[in-house]
Amino acid sequence: MTMTAHDTAVPDAAPSALYRLTGVTRTYRQKDRVVKALAGVDLEITAGDFVTIQGPTGGGKSTLLQILGALDRPTAGSVELGGSDLARASHARLGQVRAQEIGFVFQGFNLIPTLTAAENVDMALEPLGLSKQERATRVAEALAHVGLADRGAHRPGELSGGQQQRVAIARAIVKRPRVLLADEPTGNLDEAMRDEILAVLEALCAEGLTLVVVTHDSAVAKRAHRRLRLDRGTVRDITR
């Protein structure tokens, strides 16, 4: 994935808001009571930012990530991605956004064990209608980008945990998204592998990819540009 700067960029121009959330509320009904997972969240995320979200279990982190990822809609409020309100978009449009603009990485890797690393990465390109040659080129580039150029023919069981997560990241970036959303991406890794994955994510961010990472690990959070805490459905910035 190659990021190209505009030759005519204005040095003092303010960074653009990739996400703009206004009054985002998400409620669920559990038996005879209503649970408010998000309570009027107002949030802006700048393009190219590395943002982490921390908070207690049940505080709304996963709900927020699902809404940012166009996997869920708010009960109230607007969720703008590049100026387009996902809260009011059609189901077809949301599917298009997920397929083209948003990459996802999870704690459990979610790789298909019977497929090779290259085949796992290639699956993310199926909705895009690319030629076989273009898909092969993109897969090779994505694997090389995460340091696995020589592991494309290996199946997940033949790779370490850190390597499997690199494959998952390659799968997320192969479609060249605008943002990568990660839910506890280092949760199953030891410290050395965690630092390897963080280095990969930071390199992607340096190239212009926006990162939003849910994590319980303060060592991960401290590496971010911005640290958010989500508790009882309310977001606050705890960046130091």
Percent of the chain with pLDDT over 70: 93
Look at the chain and report how many structural domains it folds into. Answer: 1
Mean pLDDT of the chain: 91
List CB contacts of 79: < 8 A, sequence separation 6 or more: 19, 21, 24, 67, 68, 73, 85, 86, 87
Question: Please, what sign has the CA dihedral across residues 109, 138, 141, 8?
Answer: negative
Domain annotation covers residue 134: yes
Is it the case that residue 2 has pLDDT exceeding 50? no
Domain annotation covers residue 199: no
Confidence band of 16 (pLDDT split at 50, 70, 90): confident
* pLDDT score for 15: 62
Q: Which domain holds residue 138?
A: 111-175
Is it the case that residue 81 has pLDDT exceeding 70? yes
* pLDDT score for 31: 83
Domain annotation covers residue 152: yes
pTM of the model: 0.89
Alpha carbons 60 and 66: distance in angstroms, whole number: 10
Domain annotation covers residue 9: no
Domain annotation covers residue 130: yes
Is it the case that residue 205 has pLDDT exceeding 90? yes
Give the model confidence (pLDDT) of 112-162 as tens digits: 999 999 999 999 999 999 999 999 999 999 999 999 999 999 999 999 999
Domain annotation covers residue 164: yes
Domain annotation covers residue 166: yes
Domain annotation covers residue 72: no
